[in-house]
Amino acid sequence: MQKRDQWTSNIGFVLAAAGSAVGLGNIWKFPGKVAANGGGAFIVVYLVIIAVVGFSVMLAELALGRNANKNIVGAFASINKKFSFIGKLGVLTAFIIASYYCVVGGWVLKYIFEYITGAAFAGGYSDYFVGLISSAAEPVIWQFVFLALSIAVILRGVSSGIEKVSKFLMPILLVILVAITVRSLTLPGASDGIALMLNFDFSALTFQSVAVAMGQAFFSLSLGMSIMVTYGSYLKKNENLVRSTASICTIDTMIALLAALAIIPAVAATGTDMGMGAGFAFIALPAVFAEMPFGFFFGLLFFVLLFFAAFTSAISIIEGVVAYASEEFKLTRKKATIIVGALAFIVGIGYSLSQGAVSLNIPWFGEAGSISLGNFMEFFTDNLALPLGALLTCIFVGFIWKTKNAAAEIEQDGKFAFKLKGAWDIAIKYVCPIVLAVILFYTLVLGVGLS
């Protein structure tokens, strides 16, 4: 049995977990969703969901991981073998997300390259982006570069790879984001965007926006799959899980709010349409930057920011799968990392090609009757597998492992006070499962999130 690596410090762990949480979801999904769902009122709902549901599930996942000191499948199996399928679902979800996340990460790298070389996006941003993602070879090359960088960090191990990189990149990420926010807020016309963020008209909130906020919260906190269980398993027993969970949730939420403050006013100031999806980060925003003074510089900064955010998230998603592969199949970490990386690369090529180079469609019950492989991968993971994984995890922790045993892992013989234990028990057993079931219902019955 190989010796398991551990985080060397609490701050290193918190930054690595925050690095996982802070990703593409915070920087471009969140601001777009705020704008599309009415602004301030949506933000308030989101904050409540993070504090009640997100916090509770993250604490449960970290406790589960640390208790077992194993990868996610091993963690479920160590309590009850029959439920190791929940861990396997988590690994599958992580693997699919890893595959496509690296493709998007590759696009980000290509944009940085374009800014640095001054090639300046020939043909306009829209044609440029569509041309890039629908070509066959180029995105795959960038995907490879992005994946290779992530794998290089994972190969160095948990403490000297993942922890070191996160400790270095996360503070820089924050500084860049603050710089872009200040630039954006001082643009003439920024006040329209600020007004939107302060629009607390709760009557305009629909049930659907609440479901969107819930889905966003889970994705943003990297819950519902192997990551937080795996990261928790590298924690020492003398760390305070409640405090760490609160720190990770706070950092993730602060960065999402800052991103909204950076992006919404800038978009409003230039009168750009607040479209959603990939096009928003890759088409609308570069155009916004191009219109402001020193725009080229801020455009470059923005994509470096996006890269840092995506990079630490990609590392965490791959790590969850690598930990499983190496421990459950008794492979060396090195072998497991290379195999997982190679497989993710192959599946990612499918995602990349389905963006336009080749028509790869999957039959589905949505309106169009079929969706592209790429959309299917995103939809299956973000909208189905993540909430389902989180739902099963709550039921498992609440009723199979039992919250009192989880609380004992958190409290460590009374070493750490856990004042909210009673409330947490109710949240894990009842509130979170109901909330998650509602998200799943919306997705399956009404097709929310199906594009």
User: Contact positions toward ligand PHE, by CB under 6 A?
Assistant: 20-21, 23-26, 97, 219-220, 222, 227, 313, 316-317
CB 178 within 8 A of CB 26: no
- Which residue lies nearer to ligand PHE by CB, 316 or 443? 316
How many residues does this entry show for the chain? Answer: 451
Closest approach of ligand PHE to the CB of residue 21, in Å: 5
- Which residue lies nearer to ligand PHE by CB, 312 or 403? 312
Structure tokens given for 437:
């079931």
Closest approach of ligand PHE to the CB of residue 24, in Å: 4
- Which residue lies nearer to ligand PHE by CB, 24 or 132? 24
Closest approach of ligand PHE to the CB of residue 246, in Å: 17
Nearest by Cα to 286 from 125, 62, 68: 125
Alpha carbons 313 and 141: distance in angstroms, whole number: 20
Closest approach of ligand PHE to the CB of residue 290, in Å: 25
Alpha carbons 386 and 293: distance in angstroms, whole number: 41
- Which residue lies nearer to ligand PHE by CB, 222 or 253? 222
Closest approach of ligand PHE to the CB of residue 378, in Å: 11
Q: How far is CA 95 from CA 45, 303, 368, 385, 448, in A?
A: 30, 25, 27, 12, 23
CB 349 within 8 A of CB 206: no
Name 105's Cβ contacts closer than 8 Å, sequence gap at least 6: 143, 146, 147, 150, 307, 310, 311, 314
Closest approach of ligand PHE to the CB of residue 259, in Å: 10
Reduced to 3 states (helix: H, G, I; strand: E, B; else coil), residue 199 is: coil
CA 248 from centroid of its chain's CA atoms: 13
- Which residue lies nearer to ligand PHE by CB, 162 or 268? 162
Closest approach of ligand PHE to the CB of residue 321, in Å: 11
- Which residue lies nearer to ligand PHE by CB, 220 or 393? 220
- Which residue lies nearer to ligand PHE by CB, 97 or 305? 97
- Which residue lies nearer to ligand PHE by CB, 317 or 373? 317
Closest approach of ligand PHE to the CB of residue 152, in Å: 19
**Sign of the alpha-carbon dihedral angle for 93, 316, 77, 432:** negative
**Sign of the alpha-carbon dihedral angle for 288, 294, 300, 305:** negative
Q: Burial code of 321-335, b = ≥16 C-beta within 10 A, e = fewer?
A: bbbbbbbbeebebee
- Which residue lies nearer to ligand PHE by CB, 26 or 233? 26
Nearest by Cα to 378 from 97, 125, 27: 97
Closest approach of ligand PHE to the CB of residue 291, in Å: 27
Beta bridge partners of 342: none
Reduced to 3 states (helix: H, G, I; strand: E, B; else coil), residue 2 is: coil
Closest approach of ligand PHE to the CB of residue 16, in Å: 12
- Which residue lies nearer to ligand PHE by CB, 313 or 393? 313
Alpha carbons 293 and 297: distance in angstroms, whole number: 9
User: Would you list the DSSP string of 87-120?
Assistant: HHHHHHHHHHHHHHHHHHHHHHHHHHHHHHHT--
- Which residue lies nearer to ligand PHE by CB, 23 or 279? 23
Alpha carbons 438 and 440: distance in angstroms, whole number: 5
Nearest by Cα to 401 from 146, 185, 87: 87
Closest approach of ligand PHE to the CB of residue 320, in Å: 8
- Which residue lies nearer to ligand PHE by CB, 215 or 433? 215
Closest approach of ligand PHE to the CB of residue 240, in Å: 23
CA 191 from centroid of its chain's CA atoms: 29
